[in-house]
Amino acid sequence: MVCLQIILPQIEPLHISAPARCPIETCSGTTFRLHQKVVKPLRDHAYPQVIAHRYRCLTCGHTFRMYPGGVTHQPTTQRIRDLAVLLYRLGLSYGAVAELLEAWKIYMCKSQVYKAVQSTGITSKRRGNLIQELRILPLGNQPPLVRCHDVWLPIELITNERHQMMVNLNIPDQAQVSKYQEAINSIVATSTASIRLLTKAAA
């Protein structure tokens, strides 16, 4: 058995840059005061919440938030949106992406998946068809299955102790691995996300 592993970008919850200029377009303010630290709830496996910094512009008085890397004002992290886009580009429909994420306990509805894909400007031309179908087993103890090249394969989302997130696709037939690797590589290589691909032997 070979495990193809797609590694999603890390989040740096403690790294929040200081603002360089005021987000108000008509204001040229460059000096700010840290006004407040606020908790931002997130839909991300490893980080259910992060701290954001609220700054006040000393020129115009406007207050705004600065977020850690990989986090924006949106309820999902960038890497979860990247993951949704990646799954769509591997062949799943918008609805199937939402279903698979839900099986992994990440809540992003079909229209949010659609918006995430649209925001990247990806056309259907740059979409692959590696994954043809999704099957979520009712009992929930087994990983969801995806049908690739007419074989059902388990697909899992793993979070390690360093809060890294990985998608594992287990391929039983070693002779088929390069075919999968090629298909996934072509998607990951043109991805806006910094996603790496590793091949390793599963235990």
Q: For residues 86-115, which are near Zn ion according to CB under 5 A?
A: none
Return the structure tokens found at 81. Answer: 């949106």
Confirm if 110 and 95 have CB atoms less than 8 A apart: yes
The H or E element spanning position 152 is strand 151-159
* Interface with Zn ion (CB under 5 A), residue from 3, 50, 57, 96: 57
Q: How far is the CB of 59 from Zn ion (least distance, A)?
A: 5
59 binds Zn ion (CB under 5 A): yes
Q: How far is the CB of 88 from Zn ion (least distance, A)?
A: 38
Return the structure tokens found at 185. Answer: 């590589």
60 binds Zn ion (CB under 5 A): yes
The site for Zn ion, by CB under 5 A, has a size of 8
58 binds Zn ion (CB under 5 A): no
Q: For residues 18-47, which are near Zn ion according to CB under 5 A?
A: 22, 24, 27, 29
Burial class (CB in 10 A: 0-12, 13-18, 19+), 76: buried
Give the residue with the Cβ less far from Zn ion, 19 or 68: 19
Taking contact as CB under 5 A, which single stretch among the options 16-24, 72-80, 148-156, 185-193 is the one that binds Zn ion? Answer: 16-24
Indicate left, alpha or beta for 125 from its phi (over 0: left) and psi (-120 to 50: alpha).
Answer: alpha
Return the structure tokens found at 162. Answer: 């360093």
CA distance 65 to 62: 10
Site residues for Zn ion per CB under 5 A: 22, 24, 27, 29, 57, 59-60, 62
